[in-house]
């Protein structure tokens, strides 16, 4: 701990966003990144708590947070980078898009404001890139074993890199035209610019990792082929089946899944293809679902020039908590959150039930009613529809952002006859599926989650596969 009194003397300095008007005119990163002097000062706020809750409870990757906070305060950026990358293969991703559960469990969050851990993480890795420290790491020897990784999201990328470091030959099969998974085709550029992913992929290629893009495993190549040619197969195919809302009018033009909208936009923004663009320009847009995917739809619709954007959530409005300390420390607080996209213009409402879509071929209006939530004697919430609250809202575009059900079953999962859990995700024990030699990690096994968890599971799955191959 570099500065014992740092947390008493220095206030948390939040990162800032570019002005709304400026950022709405482009898709570039909304963040303004703090300079290194500020970051270094923020590092000194870390108390090096006896029990580092950030590391042990908050961070799914068990990042060695107090150690790199201290190095940053002492201007030892290389050491901070080395500590950071002991546990985190993609800090340039988590440093930008992680909700930072570590900050919720920072000991300072008990009654003060947490250390700006995510900002520090991002600064450490960016400094390492700028100093040329992030280099391909070649294995000391080749094992002669070949591994197939299906899917190039954060779970697949992390697993591939770790497996390669053990000396295995690794091929990533990806059905999209470019690697990155939801990082590339789900999350908009204003949260994560795609050159950040490209930079990492180039390093992985230099390490000898093969990328076979445009290959749908289970369709373009059979599972049997993969099992014959590779010593182990890791399925990191994500949680690709979106949750639908089965109500009248669902097939009208103008009613889309959020992912159709976001993928179409990401493809158009990158210049890859404008063929699947669902354009919100000049339209009244209703986003159904109050989560992060919905928030990304709001930001994208506003950038496309939507006339008006609504975002409705069926669950009740979370409580507001405008203090910097965490009311449920060290847990993640379920409080009202306002993203950069919300700040850019949206009418939000909660306890809203979507009843039916109406139009004459094309969507014209949506019928909603209000819900009332009551706790039953067992303590769980029951929803009741409030009579007489039906109302229409005129709309040209409705985006269903109601979450994801489970991983895609057709193809690989069904062909292999893999056991599934109750939710329909691939059932695993220590990352091994019910079929010998086939492993699963990331959202495909956990259900839709966070990038940081996918990185963790990718890392651990690689360790298990390595043990299996010995």
Ligand X SMILES: Cc1cc2nc3c(=O)[nH]c(=O)nc-3n(C[C@H](O)[C@H](O)[C@H](O)COP(=O)(O)OP(=O)(O)OC[C@H]3O[C@@H](n4cnc5c(N)ncnc54)[C@H](O)[C@@H]3O)c2cc1C
In the bound complex, what is the minimum distance in angstroms from residue 412's beta carbon to ligand X?
5
Of the candidate spans 27-35, 201-209, 212-220, 384-392, the one that interacts with ligand X by CB under 6 A turns out to be 212-220
Question: Could you say which residues in the range 399-428 bind ligand X, by CB under 6 A?
Answer: 408, 411-412
In the bound complex, what is the minimum distance in angstroms from residue 136's beta carbon to ligand X?
21
DSSP E strands, 200-262 = 210-213, 232-235, 241-242, 255-257
Distance in angstroms (rounded) separating the CA atoms of residues 161 and 170: 8
Of 380, 381, 391, 310, nearest in space to 345 by CA = 310
**Binding ligand X by CB under 6 A: which of 72, 100, 124, 155?**
155
In the bound complex, what is the minimum distance in angstroms from residue 376's beta carbon to ligand X?
32
In the bound complex, what is the minimum distance in angstroms from residue 158's beta carbon to ligand X?
8
The pairing of strands 391-394 and 362-375 is antiparallel
**Binding ligand X by CB under 6 A: which of 47, 262, 397, 399?**
262
Q: Contact between 217 and ligand X (CB under 6 A)?
A: yes
Distance in angstroms (rounded) separating the CA atoms of residues 245 and 248: 9
45 vs 303 by CB, closer to ligand X: 303
**Binding ligand X by CB under 6 A: which of 54, 80, 98, 147?**
98
**Binding ligand X by CB under 6 A: which of 54, 90, 97, 399?**
97
Question: Could you say which residues in the range 174-193 bind ligand X, by CB under 6 A?
Answer: 174-176, 181-183, 186-187, 191
Of the candidate spans 46-54, 59-67, 235-243, 312-320, the one that interacts with ligand X by CB under 6 A turns out to be 235-243
Burial bucket for residue 193 (CB in 10 Å: 0-12, 13-18, 19+): middle
Q: Contact between 353 and ligand X (CB under 6 A)?
A: no
Distance in angstroms (rounded) separating the CA atoms of residues 272 and 178: 10
In the bound complex, what is the minimum distance in angstroms from residue 461's beta carbon to ligand X?
10
Of the candidate spans 47-55, 233-241, 248-256, 310-318, the one that interacts with ligand X by CB under 6 A turns out to be 233-241
Taking phi over 0 as left and psi of -120 to 50 as alpha, with beta for the rest, 411 belongs to: left
Of the candidate spans 6-14, 67-75, 328-336, 447-455, the one that interacts with ligand X by CB under 6 A turns out to be 447-455
DSSP-derived secondary structure for 282-315: T-EEEEE--SHHHHHHHHHHHHHT-SEEEEE-SS
Backbone angles phi, psi at 123, to 5 degrees: -65, -40
Q: Contact between 449 and ligand X (CB under 6 A)?
A: yes
Distance in angstroms (rounded) separating the CA atoms of residues 404 and 50: 39
Distance in angstroms (rounded) separating the CA atoms of residues 223 and 304: 41
**Binding ligand X by CB under 6 A: which of 66, 91, 101, 154?**
154
Q: For ligand X, how many residues bind (rule: CB under 6 A)?
A: 42
Q: Contact between 292 and ligand X (CB under 6 A)?
A: yes
Q: Contact between 451 and ligand X (CB under 6 A)?
A: yes
Of 169, 165, 316, 295, nearest in space to 229 by CA = 169
203 vs 241 by CB, closer to ligand X: 241
Q: Contact between 156 and ligand X (CB under 6 A)?
A: yes
Burial bucket for residue 24 (CB in 10 Å: 0-12, 13-18, 19+): middle
**Binding ligand X by CB under 6 A: which of 92, 103, 443, 464?**
443
Q: Contact between 236 and ligand X (CB under 6 A)?
A: yes
In the bound complex, what is the minimum distance in angstroms from residue 264's beta carbon to ligand X?
12
Q: Contact between 58 and ligand X (CB under 6 A)?
A: no
DSSP-derived secondary structure for 426-463: BP-BTTB-SSTTEEE-THHHH-S--HHHHHHHHHHHHH
Residue 388: other Cβ atoms inside 10 A: 8
Q: Contact between 442 and ligand X (CB under 6 A)?
A: yes
Reduced to 3 states (helix: H, G, I; strand: E, B; else coil), residue 257 is: strand
Reduced to 3 states (helix: H, G, I; strand: E, B; else coil), residue 210 is: strand
66 vs 458 by CB, closer to ligand X: 458
Q: What share of the chain is helix, strand, coil (3-state, %, to 5)?
A: 35, 20, 45
Instruction: Name the site residues for ligand X (rule: CB under 6 A).
Output: 97-98, 150-156, 173-176, 181-183, 186-187, 191, 216-218, 236-238, 240, 262, 292-293, 296, 408, 411-412, 442-444, 448-452, 454
């Amino acid at each position: 701990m570099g500065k014992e009194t740092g947390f008493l003397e220095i206030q948390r300095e939040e990162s800032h966003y570019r002005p709304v008007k400026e950022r709405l005119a482009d898709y570039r990163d909304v963040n303004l990144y703090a300079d290194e002097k500020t970051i270094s000062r923020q590092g000194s706020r870390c108390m090096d708590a006896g029990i580092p809750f950030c590391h042990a409870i908050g961070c799914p990757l068990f990042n060695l947070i107090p150690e790199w906070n201290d190095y940053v305060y002492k201007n030892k950026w290389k050491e901070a980078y080395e500590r950071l990358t002991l546990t985190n293969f993609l800090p340039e991703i988590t440093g930008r898009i992680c909700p930072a559960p570590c900050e919720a469990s920072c000991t300072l969050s008990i009654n003060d404001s947490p250390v700006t851990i995510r900002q520090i993480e991002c600064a450490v890795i960016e400094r390492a890139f700028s100093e040329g420290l992030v280099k391909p790491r070649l294995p000391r020897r080749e094992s002669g074993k070949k591994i197939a990784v299906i899917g190039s999201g954060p779970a697949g990328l992390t697993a591939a890199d770790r497996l390669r470091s053990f000396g295995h030959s690794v091929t990533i099969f990806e059905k999209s035209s470019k690697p990155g998974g939801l990082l590339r085709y789900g999350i908009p550029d204003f949260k994560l610019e795609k050159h950040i992913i490209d930079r990492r992929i180039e390093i992985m290629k230099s390490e000898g990792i093969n990328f076979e893009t445009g290959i749908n495993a289970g369709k373009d190549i059979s599972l049997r082929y993969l099992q014959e040619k590779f010593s182990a197969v890791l399925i990191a195919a994500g949680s690709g089946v979106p949750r639908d809302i089965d109500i009248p009018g669902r097939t009208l033009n103008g009613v889309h899944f959020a992912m159709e909208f976001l993928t179409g936009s990401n493809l158009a923004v990158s210049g890859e293809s404008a063929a699947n663009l669902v354009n919100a320009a000049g339209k009244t847009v209703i986003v159904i679902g109050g989560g992060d995917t919905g928030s990304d739809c709001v930001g994208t619709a506003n950038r496309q020039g939507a006339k008006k954007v609504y975002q409705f959530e069926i669950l009740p409005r979370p409580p507001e908590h405008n203090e910097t300390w965490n009311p449920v420390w060290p847990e993640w607080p379920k409080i009202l959150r306002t993203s950069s996209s919300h700040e850019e213009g949206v009418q939000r409402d909660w306890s809203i039930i979507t009843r039916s879509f109406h139009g004459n071929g094309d969507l014209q209006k949506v019928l909603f009613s209000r819900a009332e939530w009551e706790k039953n004697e067992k303590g769980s919430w029951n929803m009741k529809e409030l009579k007489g609250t039906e109302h229409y809202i005129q709309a040209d575009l409705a985006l269903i952002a109601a979450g994801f059900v489970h991983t895609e079953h057709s193809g690989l999962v069904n062909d292999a006859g893999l056991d599934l859990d109750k939710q329909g995700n691939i059932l695993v024990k220590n990352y091994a599926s019910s079929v010998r030699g086939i492993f699963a990690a990331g959202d495909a096994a956990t259900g839709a989650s966070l990038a940081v968890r996918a990185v963790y599971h990718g890392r651990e799955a690689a360790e298990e596969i390595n043990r299996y191959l010995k």
